[in-house]
Structure 1
Amino acid sequence: MEVIRGGITAPKGFLANGVCCGIKKSKDDLALLVSEVPAIAVAAFTQNKVKAAPVIISQRHIKNSVFRGIIVNSGNANCCNGPGGIKDAELMSLAAAKELGALKEEILVASTGVIGRPLQVKLITAAIPFLVEGVNKEGGSRFAKAVMTTDKFQKEVAAKILIGGSSVLIGGVAKGAGMICPDMATMLSFITTDAAINKAALRSAFKDAVGKSFNSISVDGATSTNDTVFMLANGLAGNKEIYKNSPSYAKFSKALEYVMSELAKMIVLDGEGATKLVRITVKNAKTDNDAKDIASSIADDALFKTSIYGEDPNWGRIAAAVGFSGADVNADKLDIYIGNKKVMSNGAGVNIDKKALEGIYKKKEIDIKIDLKLGNGSARILTCDLTHEYIDINSGYTT
């Protein structure tokens, strides 16, 4: 696998653009991704029971067999707007479809921003002809910029693999900095590939990659109403079609997991106010679900996250979060590591130089490892610290 420059327009046949339609005062806020030929698509949506209108519409459209594009607005979530919000999301797909000569069901929709404000859909529909006219191969970065909200930087990744002599590219864009936790949160991601791949194989590879990337990160433990990951595959690479039992399936899956994992890592690094990246690894739990529950319990614990920010290696907070996770735990078998230093062995604290631990906490990336010694279950979650800036950003977000 080769990491290459670019994002969603790196694979053959994908064009994009981003413009300012006026939802935001001066920043780009409307984006479009187009496949020049009909593509297949798979998606993962938020688990929040209060779903935004674009999620509801896209859940309907994803049942279609082919797709031409994805339209996205930022600055307004189009959520909790009743039947009017559903109509506005439908209008977005219809207006884009009309300009592209496609059916509305061939257009997927996403929105991100403030909840509960009516969407100024007329601004969007008025800008769509200009948006469509400007799609091009270099438009991936404008797309990435236009979908941002509180993000500090654009998130783009692309990779290339060889399958039977054909170059197959996978590209991705993501946005997200807050309301991020496992099972999707205010995070949108768009993945493209020019691979020729069977839809069942694509769905399988996609599901595995989402589970190991976007569903294994946490910024603040809050699950959004709008989270979505879309993936389009148009087959223009010309490779022999990939099936789940194909020799090339593993190579494709590994590259897809890389792209998604890099985007997920960027989201955590860009966590609102974040200054540190934390990797939490749990092993030898009774089950994988137990391991994930423990990792999530630590990652979402405000006391742990503030201790990371304060560079205070208070491992007792880690032990407490393991204990209240709800998973099966035998405290007398529990081992905890901070970096390469064991701080708890078989449920008892280890006498260790505090300055050595403080040195680990001063790093920009910190590893926390938990060994339950109960089974073969394992999980890993990425998270970040909780800072004063996070409070500043979110205490005044709607203004």
Structure 2
Amino acid sequence: MTTMKLFLSIGVLICLSACQQSYTVKSTPYSLLQDHLFNPVDVAIETPEQIFALPEQTKAEIRQLSRSASSARMKTDLLLNYLFEKKGSSLLYQNDATLTAAETLAARQANCLSLTILSYSLAQEMELQAEFRDIKIPEYWTQNNGQSLLNGHVNLSIVGGKSRGKNGSINYSVFNYTIDFDVQNYKNHFPSVSLRQHQITGMFYTNKAAEAMLQGKDDLAYLYLKAAISMDPDAAESWNNLAVLYRQKQQLGLAEKAYVFAAQLAPDQLNSKANLALLYDIMGEIEKSNQLKRLVAAKRNLNPYYHLMLGHESLASGSAQRAIAHYKKSLGLNKQLAEAMFGLARAHLALGEKNKAQYYLQSAEKLALNPDERQRYQYKLKLLTVAAMQH
């Protein structure tokens, strides 16, 4: 998903549906929804039905494909072929705008949440048993227009079972396919939890809200956040983003309450706590802020992916030496992180140290979890070797 969370200019984190596990609390504080603080928006947001709807032509194509399949396994193979090899224009992963199923078909590229929604709708049309899965990745953020987006991830699981063949016979097949569009396959090594369709719909609205916030469209963002909370009130990301919106409007009391509620919903997640600490700084509640900062720092320092992120940020800002320190810290916590080895290669290359860069690229290749990733490192190693021979 991609689901996202975003650091604003003062370090505040917005969540673009990171698909995170939530916990039931006593009651939902709907009183935190303060419509009077925002202007009406002359925009009709997508309905849940529109998010998952397929064009009639696509449904006809899928029904035609399904007629040739005699089992759920065959249907799944046909679905995978439709997604990745259809007429030479397979769907591409791109971590940007959140689209409906129909929009994704038209664009042929979208983020993981949009692609997964499309895959689910196609699977439903083929009468396959499909289940959304939320991958519980550690904190990991990327840059977008100067903002830091904290990303989550979802994919789709297709499971075998009873299916009706083309001659009306009933077939049973046991299998489990995972449809995942993110090339960074390390994410799939983390635990996952099942998600229901209404939760995915809430994530869609949360992503759209965060995108609106990035564009400065706060009134539209609020409209999407209201829809997200209505669809899935137990999603911490929506309340976190609502708090960010209130902080921007200087409604600090409302922001505090929304952050606190988000932290109650997802006590193991750190972003709402980190945001709340920043808010307490603004409010002059220094002791409360420091307590939260110590808690967050202690947990983040044990997360190799946190240091990997800091390495990426340091390298992007031109500080290769600082990046090297973060990548080494990441490897000290997890020696199998190919991405950290690759980061070290990039950092040393930025310093003109080609021999070290070559060594770390070779190490990244050895640690690669899949052939595609290994091939990517091999290609970069080849380029680096050729460049070294020319100088």
TM-score normalized by the length of structure 1: 0.26
- The structure with the larger Rg is 2
Q: Which has the higher helix share?
A: 2
Q: Whose strand proportion is higher, 1 or 2?
A: 1
